[in-house]
Structure 1
């Protein structure tokens, strides 16, 4: 069929053949090829009555080609952008519900990858970097199902960073740990991690009082 398409150029059958060829690749799970050929179809026949379906199937091809959450998510981002373009351009489409579902699945996959990357800093005990990464994660993905876990790990990382810091830097870092704890219990009062969070808060308060009782000394660089 691929060899026939150039021969049909300019004939009425060409449009149908090109759509059929793209769709055949999709059904055969050749998603990279089907995405390419559906785009080619749209570019070649922008006024075709099948443009909407072709745009949707191109987006669906990219969705199907999206890698697992632990792999690089560049293709997932491309798929998500393509689906969003479809939703913006075809607000009343019959494919809208399915496209919305695909968008949500890809968003969760990207969030999972981002959370895993931020969490890795904590697992490796790069506590300062973990605090920054987990803070940025919750800013970038408000409403994510990983929000509670990210906030708890941010508290744990901040507390650990304060504990391992030189004495002249500890007080300000314990103060930050207390502030993160207050945010955590206000936001997640029923969290299963409350007891662990409370223990870090209590020890932070004890350490702050200890540090306040020390004679004033010149501050040293970290």
Structure 2
């Protein structure tokens, strides 16, 4: 239980996971294996949640001292790769779409069409991967806005 709150450094969480992995390597047939695997899943979700908090922070920082929307996108993409079965996958995917959308909105006019095309591409990926998401309504709104910009309406 040395694993800290997700908003803090996760050094203890990573160390605990390393130690649990060592246990599983030494005792692969242990009666405690299911319990250890459950602990590993809980710790992995904590790391995924930490990544989601980082994504949200980058998004909230926006263009403050640089393009934090791009940092949000990179962090979310990395999290999707690092935590492929996380319950936060839909949140990471939506943060990518939302960051692309806001970045396109705040771009200079000369770059908006190109960036809104990327929003549309991201929308298609999002709806393909998460057709039943609670974010669908907001995602559709972003898509429609992007489509109007791209089509010049």
Q: TM-score, normalised by structure 2?
A: 0.89
Instruction: Point out 4+ residue stretches in structure 1 off by more than 6 angstroms.
Output: none
The answer to whether the aligner puts 1:184 opposite 2:126 as a matched pair is yes
Please provide the CA RMSD for this pair: 1.5
Distance in 2, matches of 1:194 and 1:142, equals 21
Give the alignment of 1:11-160 within 5 angstroms.
64-125=1-62, 126-160=68-102
Cα pair 1:69 1:112 within 8 Å, conserved: yes
Cα pair 2:119 2:143 within 8 Å, conserved: yes
TM-superposed CA distance for 1:192, in Å, is 1.6
TM-superposed CA distance for 1:128, in Å, is 2.5
TM-superposed CA distance for 1:110, in Å, is 1.1
Distance in 2, matches of 1:92 and 1:135, equals 35
Distance in 2, matches of 1:143 and 1:96, equals 20
Distance in 1, matches of 2:141 and 2:55, equals 23
Cα pair 2:100 2:115 within 8 Å, conserved: yes
- Cα deviation digits, residues 100-129 of structure 1 (max 9, x gap): 121111111111111111221112223232
Correspondence for 2:104: 162
Q: TM-score, normalised by structure 1?
A: 0.63
| Larger displacement relative to structure 2 (124-133 or 95-104) | 124-133
Where does the alignment leave 5 or more consecutive residues of structure 1 unmatched?
Answer: 1-63, 212-222
Cα pair 2:44 2:83 within 8 Å, conserved: no
**Which is higher, the Rg of structure 1 or of structure 2?**
1
Distance in 2, matches of 1:143 and 1:103, equals 13
Distance in 1, matches of 2:34 and 2:76, equals 32
Correspondence for 1:175: 117
| Larger displacement relative to structure 2 (90-99 or 128-137) | 128-137
Distance in 1, matches of 2:78 and 2:91, equals 14
